[in-house]
Amino acid sequence: MEKKGSHGFPVRDVREQFPALRRRYHHRPAVYFDGPGGSQVVQGTIDAIAGYLAGGGANLHGQFPTSHETEEMISGARSAMAELLGAKPSEIAFGPNMTTLNFSISRALARDWRQGDELVVTEIDHRANVDPWLAAAEDRGMKVRWIRVDPERLTLDLDDIEAVITERTRLVAVGLASNGVGTINDVARIAGLAKSRGALVAVDAVHAVPHFYVDRGLLNGDIVLCSAYKFFGPHVGVAAIREEVFETLRPYKVLPSPKYIPDKLETGTQNHEGIAGIKPAVEFIAGLGSGSTPREKLISGYAAIEAHENYLAEMIRSNLAGMPGVRLYQAPTHVKKTPTISFQVEGITPRQFCSRMAEEYSIFVADGDFYASTLADKLGVNQSGGWIRAGLAPYNTEEEAGRFIEAVKGILATL
């Protein structure tokens, strides 16, 4: 049983809901510390996907039960995502993944942009929230300005933000949490300034939504993007787009796509079985909380996840910090972070290290720059294979954190 310190979090009950956790590797239970690359999937999602496929799927607009049921199911998924992000169901669009959705949105917005307009991106972001905007800027002859990252603090440097976001800025693209080093960015501040200058704000919340409550309204984001496979669900991308922006957005039109929101962004037949798996993933988070409304349950469910994950993350961070040869890449203590712990170990490449973690200790951790490439290049870590990234999820335990710490010590002892 989990003991005090993990805040009474029902981790055993949680684990029961994730069948993949029964997997063993080299005769030991596998430890999944690769959550930021994609979490394991909750049973409710698996059942809903299988149930949709087994129960009779259909395309939309048919006058028969499977088609009606498909439409109802999609509408339920929109409502669940609207609740999760503090948006309206009509503002929620689905797509293959965050990157593809972001591209469709950037193409559509760029149709109304002109030479001389400006875009702002950041050095800390995943390239999925940089490159679609760079492409738009190239196509339209726009200037791109960057919000720099402070390489010592691993936070965005907002000192000259007033000069970066100008009256000519059309959109600011910023990540809510860094999938590379876990830093949670002050998006509300950046968005407040962007709004005062008349710019739109696109928030990449992919690495945030698995870990804490993301309120679209509080963030002031016009476009908020996430991916359900990072929060215990299926491989489906999700965009929440503020109604006034969405109504005027001009996605490339094909005859089968309607003119109305949110469907106009969903070109082609969607991944119905995947979308069927979204609501149970949201319900899993709400199920960890309490309260009389779905919103209250989600907020308190996230609070429980945060307390549990942060407890384990601190345990790992404080142990790694004391190990000779280990270099942690973390923002200062007072800066809020996700439970994502990136580091390098002297004398071994991240790739070799992660391979030994899997083969000798049955612990799954990933290596690389995770497409937070601008940051990794700026820090110079790409020259030595990127980071080793241990990312926690609600189903991880204190015992697994202990196994991880012992495994790192074990490898260090052989170097």
Residues that bind ligand PLP (CB under 6 A): 97-99, 126, 128-129, 175, 179, 204, 206-207, 227, 237
Q: Residue 345 corresponds to which tokens in the numbers above?
A: 């170990």
What is the smallest separation between the CB atom of 262 and ligand PLP, expressed in angstroms? 18
What is the smallest separation between the CB atom of 290 and ligand PLP, expressed in angstroms? 30
Q: Which is nearer to ligand PLP, 129 or 342 (CB)?
A: 129
What is the smallest separation between the CB atom of 169 and ligand PLP, expressed in angstroms? 21
What is the smallest separation between the CB atom of 368 and ligand PLP, expressed in angstroms? 11
Q: Which is nearer to ligand PLP, 132 or 262 (CB)?
A: 132
CB atoms within 10 A of CB 339: 28
Q: Residue 247 corresponds to which tokens in the numbers above?
A: 């109504």
Q: Which is nearer to ligand PLP, 102 or 362 (CB)?
A: 102
Q: Which is nearer to ligand PLP, 207 or 272 (CB)?
A: 207
Dist CA 340 CA 393 (whole Å) = 9
Cβ contacts of 292 within 8 Å, gap of 6 or more: none
Dist CA 409 CA 370 (whole Å) = 25
DSSP state of 218: H
What is the smallest separation between the CB atom of 98 and ligand PLP, expressed in angstroms? 3
DSSP state of 337: B
Q: Is the dihedral of CA 119, 121, 126, 131 positive or negative?
A: positive
Dist CA 361 CA 33 (whole Å) = 12
What is the smallest separation between the CB atom of 371 and ligand PLP, expressed in angstroms? 7
What is the smallest separation between the CB atom of 338 and ligand PLP, expressed in angstroms? 10
Q: Which is nearer to ligand PLP, 129 or 344 (CB)?
A: 129
Q: Residue 325 corresponds to which tokens in the numbers above?
A: 């040869």
- The CA-based angle 233-31-182, given to 5 degrees, is 65
Q: Which is nearer to ligand PLP, 227 or 397 (CB)?
A: 227
Q: Which is nearer to ligand PLP, 98 or 219 (CB)?
A: 98
What is the smallest separation between the CB atom of 373 and ligand PLP, expressed in angstroms? 12
Helix (H) or strand (E) holding 109: helix 98-110
Residue whose C-alpha is closest to residue 225's, from 212, 242, 234, 238: 238
Residue whose C-alpha is closest to residue 262's, from 106, 66, 75: 75
Q: Which is nearer to ligand PLP, 51 or 96 (CB)?
A: 96
Q: Is the dihedral of CA 92, 97, 100, 102 positive or negative?
A: positive
Q: How many helices (H) and strands (E) does the chain have?
A: 15, 17
Q: Which is nearer to ligand PLP, 237 or 289 (CB)?
A: 237
CB atoms within 10 A of CB 312: 27
| Parallel/antiparallel/unpaired status of strands 149-150 and 155-156 | antiparallel
What is the smallest separation between the CB atom of 235 and ligand PLP, expressed in angstroms? 8
